[in-house]
Amino acid sequence: MKILAVTSCPTGIAHTYMAAEALEQAAKAAGHEIVVETQGAAGAVPFTPEQLAQADAVILAADVEVRGRERFAGKPTVSTGVKRAINGANDLINEACAVAADTAVTTTAMAAGRASGDSLGLATKVDAEAGFGTKLRQWLMTGVSYMIPFVAAGGILIALSFILGGAVVATKVNGGTFQGHTYPGVTDVSKLLEQTGYAGVMFKIGSTAFSMLDAMLGVRGDSETTFPEWASTT
């Protein structure tokens, strides 16, 4: 049997990929073919038209809204949360097979997933019918998911810059006094490498990434918000 699966968690990091790995291993052990689309912080590779056409069943393991859910219209579908995919991947594979065997059933909402607090995937990143409190939470979680790559990459670069250049690197880049020595700072970015070395370049890139956090948090991810195409793939 050919199965398609989508995994997605609020932050788009750990649970998204843990669920994907668990489903892949369970499907392989049961002798089925599976392709997983991870809608996480690292971006997503969408299913091809051929994969969509040949799929016998679909598993949506998501705690946030599934992007492009309309692609699976008419396909036997099991919807649940990522925690259940991680802890009960074998059961999900079996349920997907059972749903596929009954062509009259197009969607199965897992009672166990609801009882554990897992939420179902929706067609858009923000549920238009939800109350203000729910929308606010979804907006914030969407913004946080876009922030995480900047936090991780920026933090790593700043840490490496301190390792290579010492604590003085920040003062060399921004200007000021460090241990009695005054640095003018870098006013011409084209001379950043020459004046501060690779450590200064890494610090500048990292601090610039941190300066974008407010903008990333402001990405709501609903139909009222527009943002650059590159941001929509993170």
Residue 18, domain CATH: 3.40.50.2300
The answer to whether the beta carbons of residues 202 and 210 sit under 8 Å apart is no
* Residue at 120 is within a domain: no
Same structural domain, 207 and 159: yes
Same domain, 107 and 158: no
Set 9, 97, 202, 216: catalytic member: 9
Check residue 19 and give its pLDDT.
93
Phi then psi dihedrals of residue 164, to 5 deg: -80, -40
215 and 178 assigned to the same domain = yes
Average pLDDT of adjacent 10-residue blocks, the chain of 234 residues: 91 86 94 92 84 94 88 91 92 91 49 42 48 73 77 92 93 92 91 92 93 75 45 42
Last residue of a domain, one of 115, 142, 167: 115
65 and 106 together in one domain: yes
Residue range(s) defining the domain that contains residue 159: 132-233
Distance from the first to the final alpha carbon of the chain = 31
Domain for residue 123, yes or no? no
Question: Tell me, what's the pLDDT at 230?
Answer: 45
Are 207 and 109 members of one domain?
A: no
Q: Would 194 be classed as within a structural domain?
A: yes
Domain count, the chain: 2
Q: Are residues 97 and 144 in the same domain?
A: no
Residues 149 and 110 in one domain: no
| pTM (two decimals) | 0.52
Sign of CA dihedral 66, 70, 75, 77: positive
109 and 11 share one domain: yes
Is 212 inside any structural domain? yes
**Residue 122 lies inside a defined structural domain of this protein:** no
**Is 50 part of a structural domain of the chain?**
yes
How far apart, in whole angstroms, are the C-alpha atoms of residue 177 and residue 78? Answer: 61
Domain end point (choices 115, 150, 173): 115
Both 67 and 160 in one domain: the answer is no
Q: Which pLDDT belongs to residue 129?
A: 58
Residue 125 domain-assigned (yes or no): no
138 located within any domain: yes
Cα separation, 33 vs 31, in Å, equals: 7
Assign 8 to helix, strand or coil. Answer: strand
Continuous segment of H or E residues that includes residue 37:
strand 33-38
Q: Active site includes 97?
A: no
Which of 82, 115, 148 lies at the terminal end of a domain, its last residue? 115
